[in-house]
């Protein structure tokens, strides 16, 4: 097949109409899902997004172009989320007899709602194209702006859900992740979108193909070169070690008090062995989210720690604890012989609660319907903590994040109180055994690059890991295998530009690419016609 023939067939995509266009859009959305874990096929970004762009070209010729554009974008986004976060269904299957029936009523609306962010980007693109009569190479810039803005809005509207943001596709390689330290995930996602749309620009405007190829290729080379320059071994601290514990207690077994107690004993045994490897060095043992719900069930636990652990060892563990008279917190607590209160040295309560899992909006309505049991803590759910924290216990101050809290970039520790490292405790047993835990690990890698901080990540059933400040996974434990990672804590890098200036990079990027859209208007070269 000649290049001309390939181009002719590619251009024909925009001529699809009706259900064929929506089916093709869904297909390209499915393709985009493979750019994320578990497959991490980053190059498909340069096929899926151009496919969407070509379909939107055809939508603009329809009698109702805005409607056609919105439905095309929504079809694309809906199948993307259906495939990339289908692991959400596992949360309903842990207690399938009680919650399994809800899957067809909850998940399809969720996927359509998330897919509508792509629909909103598409209708934004259509509106600018039609109002400004853009017809040249700059005609794809509104789609870049729309997709970038949709990524940002998805991370902020309501409670926000920035899972599988476009920049997360760069988790395929450590080098590709490094620009996150400069501009953060939203601006970097915009840059990737702009580059990924260049194949569509080549198809539509072949007269500019050489310019697009040189510009896009040069940008990718610069990204990889920056990643290569930043790569390298990070020094380790000789005064602090971490022991990341993975107990591997199945989610169903968490409902059994005896199995919880057995898991607690096993975690303590793994911690003790790890601490004995370096008895004169400060060791932080990290246990996962809800390692022992509820603390009141094992009220003598701090005394056990005092008796069993070396003097320089601290246990940082997820717990569920009472707050006030009738509230409960999804919490993290620090225990150790040096702590006050019988071994308890510090506490942190999760402040970003998962809607409909840890907190139940409109509780009175659900109570009337008899399904208030959706909330695991009873009542309206867990009590939210006051906010981000920096815990100064031992020789290495850290900021804790509990599960869902690590998906929000730029909001990881108190402003002006940069810690030496981040601790993430999570229970990914809800996520199944494939895409969910791997995507969550990739998110933690992004947070490490953005902050320049190492991360110790303890996940109940995996994937537990020690992550370097450039997002490199130094050590990991496989899914569904108990174990412990024992290693010296990597040193932090200097504060990153992104953490110093926040989303200024996003504002600058959007401003720069908006300039030709606003100024050129009708002055573009007309797109080629299918020959």
Residue 510 has pLDDT above 90, yes or no: yes
* Domain co-membership, 343 together with 363: no
* Cis ω for the linkage preceding 38 (within 30 of 0): yes
pLDDT at site 86: 94
pLDDT at site 339: 47
CATH number, domain containing residue 456: 3.60.110.10
* Domain co-membership, 168 together with 292: no
Catalytic residue among 289, 405, 472, 503: 289
pLDDT at site 11: 74
Q: Does the active-site annotation cover 350?
A: yes
Per the CB < 8 A criterion, the answer to whether 504 and 294 are in contact is no
Per the CB < 8 A criterion, the answer to whether 505 and 190 are in contact is no
Final residue of a structural domain among 360, 384, 408: 384
Query: Is residue 527 in a domain?
Result: no
* Domain co-membership, 158 together with 286: no
* Domain co-membership, 265 together with 333: yes
* Cis ω for the linkage preceding 294 (within 30 of 0): yes
pLDDT at site 329: 87
Mean pLDDT of 173-201: 96
Residue 297 has pLDDT above 80, yes or no: no
Per the CB < 8 A criterion, the answer to whether 456 and 243 are in contact is no
Query: Is residue 404 in a domain?
Result: yes
Residue 66 has pLDDT above 80, yes or no: yes
Mean pLDDT of 143-162: 96
For residue 531, name the pLDDT band (cuts at 50, 70, 90). very low
pLDDT at site 91: 83
356 torsion bin: left (phi>0), alpha (psi -120 to 50), beta (else): left
Query: Is residue 526 in a domain?
Result: no
Query: Is residue 77 in a domain?
Result: yes
* Domain co-membership, 318 together with 432: yes
What's the pLDDT tens digit per position in 255-273? 777 888 888 889 989 998 9
Q: Does the active-site annotation cover 233?
A: no
* Domain co-membership, 249 together with 187: no
Put the strands of the sheet holding 483-490 in their side by side order.
Answer: 344-349, 327-335, 313-323, 282-286, 236-246, 483-490
Final residue of a structural domain among 363, 384, 405: 384
Per the CB < 8 A criterion, the answer to whether 343 and 331 are in contact is no
Mean pLDDT of 321-337: 82
Total number of domains constituting the chain? 3
Per the CB < 8 A criterion, the answer to whether 311 and 338 are in contact is yes
For residue 526, name the pLDDT band (cuts at 50, 70, 90). very low
Look at 15-29, 201-215, 440-454 and tell me which has the smallest mean pLDDT: 201-215
What's the pLDDT tens digit per position in 6-59? 667 777 888 898 999 999 999 999 999 999 999 999 999 999 999 999 999 999
For residue 392, name the pLDDT band (cuts at 50, 70, 90). very high
In the block, residue with structure tokens 């991490």: 40
pLDDT at site 525: 45
Catalytic residue among 57, 254, 358, 403: 403
Look at 94-98, 182-186, 465-469 and tell me which has the smallest mean pLDDT: 94-98
What's the pLDDT tens digit per position in 480-492? 999 999 999 999 9
What contacts 339, CB < 8 A, 6 or more positions away?
302, 314, 345, 346, 393
99 torsion bin: left (phi>0), alpha (psi -120 to 50), beta (else): alpha
Distances in Å between the Cα of 122 and the Cα atoms of 162, 187, 291 are: 19, 19, 44
For residue 362, name the pLDDT band (cuts at 50, 70, 90). low
* Domain co-membership, 98 together with 19: yes
* Domain co-membership, 365 together with 389: no
* Domain co-membership, 169 together with 220: yes
Mean pLDDT of 318-340: 78
* Domain co-membership, 222 together with 357: no
**Higher pLDDT, residue 293 or 514:** 514
pLDDT at site 247: 94
The angle formed by the CA atoms of residues 495, 226 and 151, to the nearest 5 degrees, is 70
Q: Does the active-site annotation cover 403?
A: yes
Written as six digits, the tokens of 275 are 């601490």
Per the CB < 8 A criterion, the answer to whether 358 and 376 are in contact is yes
Query: Is residue 530 in a domain?
Result: no
Tell me which residue range forms the domain holding 310: 236-350+385-492
Query: Is residue 525 in a domain?
Result: no
* Domain co-membership, 49 together with 166: yes
**Higher pLDDT, residue 150 or 265:** 150
Residue 528 has pLDDT above 50, yes or no: no
pLDDT at site 196: 97
Catalytic residue among 57, 254, 350, 405: 350
**Higher pLDDT, residue 91 or 348:** 348
**pLDDT mean across residues, the chain:** 88
Q: Which residue spans within 52-158 are E strands per DSSP?
A: none
* Domain co-membership, 319 together with 368: no
For residue 282, name the pLDDT band (cuts at 50, 70, 90). very high
Query: Is residue 11 in a domain?
Result: yes
**Pairing of the two strands 236-246 and 282-286:** parallel
Query: Is residue 531 in a domain?
Result: no
For residue 439, name the pLDDT band (cuts at 50, 70, 90). very high
Query: What DSSP line would sit under 277-305, residue for residue?
Result: TSTTSEEEEE--TTSBS-GGGGTTHHHHH
């Amino acid at each position: 097949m000649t290049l001309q023939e390939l181009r002719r067939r590619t251009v024909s995509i925009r001529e699809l109409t009706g259900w064929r266009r929506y089916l093709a859009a869904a297909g390209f959305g499915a393709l985009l899902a493979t750019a994320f874990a578990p497959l991490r096929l980053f190059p498909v970004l340069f096929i899926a997004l151009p496919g969407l762009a070509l379909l939107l070209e055809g939508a603009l010729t329809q009698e109702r172009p805005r409607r056609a554009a919105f439905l095309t974008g929504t079809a694309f986004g809906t199948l993307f989320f259906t495939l990339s976060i289908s692991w959400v269904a596992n949360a309903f299957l842990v207690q399938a007899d009680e919650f399994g029936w809800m899957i067809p009523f909850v998940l399809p609306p969720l996927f359509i709602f998330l897919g509508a962010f792509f629909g909103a980007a598409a209708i934004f693109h259509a509106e600018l194209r039609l109002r400004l009569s853009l017809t040249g190479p700059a005609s794809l810039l509104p789609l870049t702006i729309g997709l970038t803005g949709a990524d940002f809005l998805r991370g902020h509207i309501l409670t926000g859900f920035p899972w599988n943001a476009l920049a997360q596709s760069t988790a395929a390689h450590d080098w590709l992740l490094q620009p996150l330290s400069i501009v953060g995930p939203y601006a970097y996602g915009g840059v990737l979108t702009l580059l990924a749309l260049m194949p569509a620009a080549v198809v539509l405007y072949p007269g500019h193909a050489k310019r697009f190829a040189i510009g896009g290729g040069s940008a990718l080379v610069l990204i990889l070169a920056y990643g290569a320059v930043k790569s390298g071994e990070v020094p380790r601290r000789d005064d602090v070690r971490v022991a990341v514990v993975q107990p591997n207690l199945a989610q169903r077994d968490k409902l059994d008090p005896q199995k919880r107690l057995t898991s607690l004993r096993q975690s303590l045994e793994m911690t003790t062995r790890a601490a004995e490897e370096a008895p004169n060095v400060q060791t932080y043992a990290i246990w996962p989210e809800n390692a022992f719900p509820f603390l009141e069930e094992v009220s003598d636990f701090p005394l056990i720690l005092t008796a069993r652990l070396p003097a320089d060892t601290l246990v940082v563990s997820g717990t569920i604890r009472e707050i006030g008279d009738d509230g409960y917190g999804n919490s993290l607590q620090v225990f150790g012989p040096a702590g006050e209160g019988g071994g308890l040295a510090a506490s942190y309560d999760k402040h970003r609660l998962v809607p409909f899992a840890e907190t139940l909006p409109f509780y009175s309505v659900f109570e009337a319907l008899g399904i208030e049991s959706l909330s695991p803590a009873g009542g309206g759910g867990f009590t939210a903590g006051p906010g981000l924290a920096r815990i100064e216990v031992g020789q290495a101050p850290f900021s804790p994040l509990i599960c869902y809290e690590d998906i929000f970039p730029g909001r990881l520790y108190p402003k002006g109180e940069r810690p030496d490292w981040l601790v993430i405790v999570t229970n990914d047993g809800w996520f199944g055994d494939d895409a969910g835990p791997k995507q969550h690990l990739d998110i933690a890698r992004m947070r490490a690059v953005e902050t320049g901080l190492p991360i110790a990540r303890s996940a109940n059933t995996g994937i537990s890991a020690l992550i370097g400040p450039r997002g490199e996974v130094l050590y990991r434990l496989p899914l569904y295998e108990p174990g412990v990672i024992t290693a010296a804590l990597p040193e932090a890098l200097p504060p990153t530009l992104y953490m110093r200036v926040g989303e200024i990079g996003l504002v600058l990027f959007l401003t720069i690419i908006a300039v030709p859209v606003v100024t050129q208007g009708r002055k573009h070269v007309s797109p080629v016609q299918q020959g």
